[in-house]
């Protein structure tokens, strides 16, 4: 089934992890054998051939670069200007992959419909470029609002104001506090430019303030449910109901610690925690019960988002195994149309509505 994945850190993998995503997964793993600089070395599950194998023809692909103040222990850049330059290097990689015929940027209703038509024409995926919608994870690199307009001109179509910790425009996972004047100004400019607000990673204070100050299109690219895994990285039922009321789609994320409770980072294993793909379907189903329908869920896997097989569902060898999800949904009584909506239809409906001419 044609599939959309609403969150992949492709450029981070290419530029920070130094992975050539044109190569098969097993070749990347072999090249990383014995490396210890990253916790997921040799455990990658994403590459262009596996995306094509899994009929994943459209992804939301990120730029990411955090600014860190002197008292912030998180990794990042010491100035917003450095963070901006990092994201522009990531953008250049996307452009190079376009020249190679691996990717094509999707940034309008016209390019979307043309791309979907090509991927659903019944021919082999082998030579088809994978569509990517450019998203910025964390707004720290937006030096000024003029930089946001520059980013839009280069294809940016979605933005999450925060990532982990404190941010320049909003507060993220494990932080507290609201948007402040600069965050509200950012949301206003996003509205003007019709940039999608990605609510993912917003702390509770910033989430509710963003909902009060933004009237544009909102989604949550990769988020699970606090009712099933009690952590501030997840959304509460009240937050999920707010997103549902605003027509959002919430992408189920496959990072194991967000799928099952009591996961201990760098200690737990997927097998011992019974973390398989059924667990993300649990989160999807929870959202469907809140909504009363299957119109607000999708996939936002975050696979290879600084973790690999060691922290992914044990029945997932590569990202192509997302194709196991339709049968799991069917076994739970979801209709064929519901399943199509989960795999691609809900994201398509959202984008068509957001980008309508």
Dump pLDDT digits (tens) for 265-321: 999 999 999 999 999 999 999 999 999 999 999 999 999 999 999 999 999 999 999
Report pLDDT for 267.
Answer: 96
Instruction: Compute φ and ψ for 340, nearest 5 degrees.
Output: -60, -40
Provide the pLDDT confidence category of residue 179 given band limits of 50, 70 and 90: very high
Is a pLDDT exceeding 60 seen at residue 111? Answer: yes
Summarised one tens digit per residue, pLDDT across range 188-203 is 999 999 999 999 999 9
Where residue 67 falls among pLDDT bands split at 50, 70, 90? very high
Q: Encoding tokens for residue 56? A: 């994943």
Cα 275 to Cα 132, 270, 334: the distances in Å are 29, 5, 22
**Whole-structure pTM value:** 0.98
| pLDDT exceeds 60 at position 357 | no
Rounded to the nearest angstrom, the gap between the alpha carbon of residue 115 and the centroid of all alpha carbons in its chain is 20
Q: How many CA atoms lie within 13 A of 233 on its CB side?
A: 17
Separation between Cα atoms, residue 129 and residue 58, nearest integer Å? 9
pLDDT tens per residue across span 213-232: 999 999 999 999 999 999 99
Looking only at the bridges linking them, the beta strands covering 196-198 and 218-219 are parallel
Domains of the chain by start residue, with CATH: 3-355 (3.20.20.140)
Say yes or no to pLDDT of 18 above 80. yes
**Mean of pLDDT over the chain:** 98
| The two structure tokens encoding residue 299 | 């996939």
Nearest to 105 by CA among 135, 136, 137, 131: 131
Q: How far is CA 144 from the centre of its chain?
A: 24
Q: Do 5 and 301 contact (CB within 8 A), yes or no?
A: yes
pLDDT on residue 123? 95
């Amino acid at each position: 089934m044609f599939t959309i994945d609403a969150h992949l850190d492709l450029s981070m993998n290419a530029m920070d992890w130094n992975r050539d995503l044109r190569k098969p997964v097993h070749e990347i793993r072999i090249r990383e054998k014995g490396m210890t600089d990253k916790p997921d070395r040799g455990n990658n599950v994403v590459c262009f051939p596996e995306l094509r194998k899994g009929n994943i023809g459209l992804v939301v692909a990120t730029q990411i670069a955090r600014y860190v103040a002197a008292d912030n222990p998180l990794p990042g850049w010491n100035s917003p200007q450095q963070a901006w330059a990092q994201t522009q290097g990531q953008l250049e990689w996307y452009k190079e992959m376009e020249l190679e015929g691996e990717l094509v940027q999707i940034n309008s209703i016209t390019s979307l419909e043309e791309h979907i038509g090509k991927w659903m024409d019944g021919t082999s995926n082998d030579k088809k470029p994978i569509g990517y919608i450019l998203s910025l994870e964390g707004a720290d690199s937006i030096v000024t609002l003029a930089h946001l307009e520059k980013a839009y001109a280069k294809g940016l179509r979605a933005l999450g104001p925060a990532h982990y910790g404190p941010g320049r425009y909003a507060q993220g996972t494990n932080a507290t506090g609201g948007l402040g004047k600069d965050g509200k100004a950012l949301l206003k400019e996003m509205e003007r430019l019709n940039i999608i607000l990605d609510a993912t990673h917003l702390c509770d204070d910033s989430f509710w303030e963003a909902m009060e100050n933004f009237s544009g299109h909102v989604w949550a690219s990769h988020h699970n449910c606090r009712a099933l895994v009690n952590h501030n990285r997840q959304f509460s039922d009240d937050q999920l109901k707010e997103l549902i009321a605003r027509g959002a789609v919430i992408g189920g994320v496959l990072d194991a610690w967000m799928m099952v409770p009591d996961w201990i980072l760098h200690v737990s294993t997927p097998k011992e925690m019974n973390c398989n793909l059924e667990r993300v379907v649990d989160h999807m189903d929870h959202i469907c019960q809140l909504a009363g329908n299957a119109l607000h869920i999708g996939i936002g896997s975050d696979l290879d988002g600084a973790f690999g097989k060691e922290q992914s569902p044990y029945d997932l060898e590569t990202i192509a195994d997302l194709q196991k999800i339709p049968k799991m949904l069917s076994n739970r009584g979801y209709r064929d149309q519901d399943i199509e909506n989960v795999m691609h239809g809900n994201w398509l409906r959202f984008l068509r509505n957001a980008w309508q001419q």
